[in-house]
Amino acid sequence: MKDKFYQYILKLQDSITSKLEEVDGVAKFQEDIWKRPEGGGGRTRVIENGTIFEKGGVNISAVHGALPESMQNYFGVKDSDFFACGLSLVLHPKNPMVPTVHANWRYFEMYDKEGNIVDQWFGGGQDLTPYYLFDEDATHFHAISKIACDKHNPDFYPTYKKKCDNYFWNTHRNEARGVGGLFFDYCKATGDMSMQDWYNFVVQVGNSFLEAYVPIVEKRRNLSYSKEQRDWQEIRRGRYVEFNLVHDKGTLFGLKTNGRIESILMSLPPHVQWQYDHHPDNGSQEERLLQILSKPKDWV
């Protein structure tokens, strides 16, 4: 399973980066191959200063070895080895009318000292973070995610949509990071779903990403914007940074397993503002966004 999923994310990375280069029209992804001293490594691809994408990364990694003590405590195990692989992407467009997007699809195995698999699971999801909210964009993103889920189980979309709303929540701000999408984790073999079934589901979701995001980019890429709107984008990007550094499990896992720091932090936007006690004008588009982010909404 780990070999099959790793081969899948290699191909997925190629298809996503090729399409994003085509959409941008100017910028190309810079590739870095890196190795982790304790075992494994990855292939980082970063795009910067394009016509559309100010900064973005589409990264894959496959790491293995002894599970660090901090992670042993987290999982409640002792003297375990692990394997983890996944694809993680974040795209920060320059135009504040185009939303930021994040996605991740991953697979994890844990072993005893004899090398036997004692646990294995899939996880992942995709979510949208607009700065100026076009309701039809959020509906499109969620509709494509729902179609992928419905091909496997009609309960998946409402369940993983709710998990996404709960996960991407800045508790210290009491607001959502964005308009959500899907989030699933610890997807293990049960009576209803084998690991092959979970593989098929995760692949379905991964293959839906470009259809969920690229039409939104194409629709909003040429909209005009002001300096004030750009400032708002950078203020909201600050909330994105806060979530990733305070709450995000993937970031914390990478830091605790001695991952490559440049790859872990590629998710951070290049230009950010933290204005003291900032509040948007009453009745503005910016205020409407905050109102919606204060309570998760059903988009489809």
Closest listed residue to residue 181, CA positions, set 203, 154, 214, 148: 148
DSSP output for 78-135? SS-EEEEEEEEEEEEESSTTSPEEEEEEEEEEEE-TT--EEEEEEEEEEEEE-SS--H
DSSP output for 244-286? HHHT-HHHHHHHHTT--HHHHGGGS-SS----TT--PPTTSHH
Q: Are the CB atoms for 189 and 195 separated by under 8 Å? A: yes
Q: Are the CB atoms for 100 and 216 separated by under 8 Å? A: no
Catalytic residue among 64, 102, 140, 142: 102
The token pair at 149 is: 């889920």
227: number of Cβ within 10 Å: 7
Measured between alpha carbons, how far is 95 from 197 in angstroms, rounded to an integer?
39
Residues 6+ away with beta carbon under 8 Å from 73:
none
Q: Are the CB atoms for 119 and 185 separated by under 8 Å? A: no
Does 102 qualify as catalytic in the annotation?
Answer: yes
Residues in the chain: 300
The token pair at 128 is: 């949208």
- Burial of 152: CB neighbours in 10 Å, binned 0-12, 13-18, 19+: middle
- Burial of 210: CB neighbours in 10 Å, binned 0-12, 13-18, 19+: middle
The catalytic residues are 102
